[in-house]
Structure 1
């Protein structure tokens, strides 16, 4: 879908820049999620605020499994995927607007089955569910789990189902996503123990590398103008 809007590249020099962006997101609360048929979440709210600031009409957001969204942004131009954790391995692959919020990635185990670990090496003998091409997969690989121990899933809901069915011993998940799963009664507090904090990273809007810097800068300035809203949403969603 073509979007045309005016950007300020330099003081008193207006640039009319036509561009075409396709937006992808994963259903991963509280970043993006449905309430009935309405798409909500902190990332959705911030993106709509940016559009409004830039005078862009509301655009379609394609909600897809993370692996598909990731494939789209690395293979197709003019693509936006959110919210993406900005890990060192990804930093040079995309352009970034944000950060939207910080994410604690943790390992959980079935209640009473695995003691909380002081060293990550204590958990290396256990299988762990991750989301394919998600930050959890890279973080777990970086934590020296072997590929044989890592069970890839398409989304958080599939990973939770495998965890609840005891098909894996551990699951890598964000604390915020875990809280939302509990609120949705997809998991009970008595079902699990948190056994290790893997990493803390920041989540952003990721843009494919071909998107012009003038667009990235305009989106970032619009984001920065809504810092107060961003902080309020971080508080609202308990991030």
Structure 2
């Protein structure tokens, strides 16, 4: 709980995007007060792991993460996507085709970890923000991101024309909450998700983002 005795407080008006709009709608439908802050992924992930009533989104649900959090969702489906520089003639039919090329990724990211575990070369940053620019400048050969966030991060860096050359591993994205968060809060949040699916808000947000 926060110092005011409420599970969440709200001051996240300046933060947007598909997942943020979904989470805000869920929270509003659940009747909970809240705060949303933009954090470095590693910092936010560890804070959600260690602080009651804290969460992080959108988080890919994996078997290894499952016992570490309480889960609200799925909020959206996603595809892992490999981006190449504008004007590329690279053709990829299988992930194995990229072995030997250098990826841009970021620490703690499930996609980066997936590549590293399989012996692919990844140049890691603290966040994904600068990776589109690194790809554009030729500092890396490829960038792995998700289908939803990739174009957004590129636009934030004024990077245009990146080419999605291969997509794989459809995943579900969730709001992951600290394990000490009361079950009744998780229940309210999941009920809030069902509410926005039934009243059309969920579909409207998806449509806004071209899904």
TM-score by length of 2: 0.85
CA contact (8 A) 1:139 1:198 kept: no
CA distance in 2 between partners of 1:88 and 1:154 (Å): 24
3-state SS, counterpart of residue 206 of structure 1 = strand
The structure whose RCO (Cα within 8 Å, separation 6+) is larger is 2
For residue 30 of structure 2, the aligned residue among 43, 54, 60 is 54
**CA, structure 1 residues 234+133, in 2 after alignment: closer, same or farther (shift >3 Å)?**
same
3-state SS, counterpart of residue 64 of structure 1 = coil
Count of paired positions: 207
> What residue is the counterpart of 1:168 in the other structure?
140
CA distance in 1 between partners of 2:109 and 2:15 (Å): 21
CA-CA distance at 1:97 after TM superposition = 0.6
Comparing 163-172 with 106-115, greater Cα deviation is found at: 106-115
Deviations 1:86-126 (A, max 9, x none): 12332222111111111111111224556222222121101
Deviations 1:155-186 (A, max 9, x none): 22221222122111110012222333465572
**CA, structure 1 residues 184+176, in 2 after alignment: closer, same or farther (shift >3 Å)?**
same
CA-CA distance at 1:60 after TM superposition = 2.2
> What residue is the counterpart of 1:13 in the other structure?
none
Aligned CA-pair RMSD:
2.6
The structure where strand makes up a greater share of residues is 1
CA distance in 2 between partners of 1:202 and 1:140 (Å): 19
Matched, 1:39 2:15: yes
**CA, structure 1 residues 177+44, in 2 after alignment: closer, same or farther (shift >3 Å)?**
closer
> What residue is the counterpart of 1:202 in the other structure?
172
For residue 82 of structure 1, the aligned residue among 42, 57, 77 is 57
CA distance in 2 between partners of 1:3 and 1:63 (Å): 21
Query: What are the ranges of 5 or more consecutive residues in structure 2 without an aligned counterpart?
Result: none
Deviations 1:35-68 (A, max 9, x none): xx722223333333333333333x3212111121
TM-score by length of 1: 0.76
Deviations 1:178-226 (A, max 9, x none): 333465572222xx33232132111111101121222211110111111
CA contact (8 A) 2:86 2:160 kept: no
> What residue is the counterpart of 2:201 in the other structure?
229
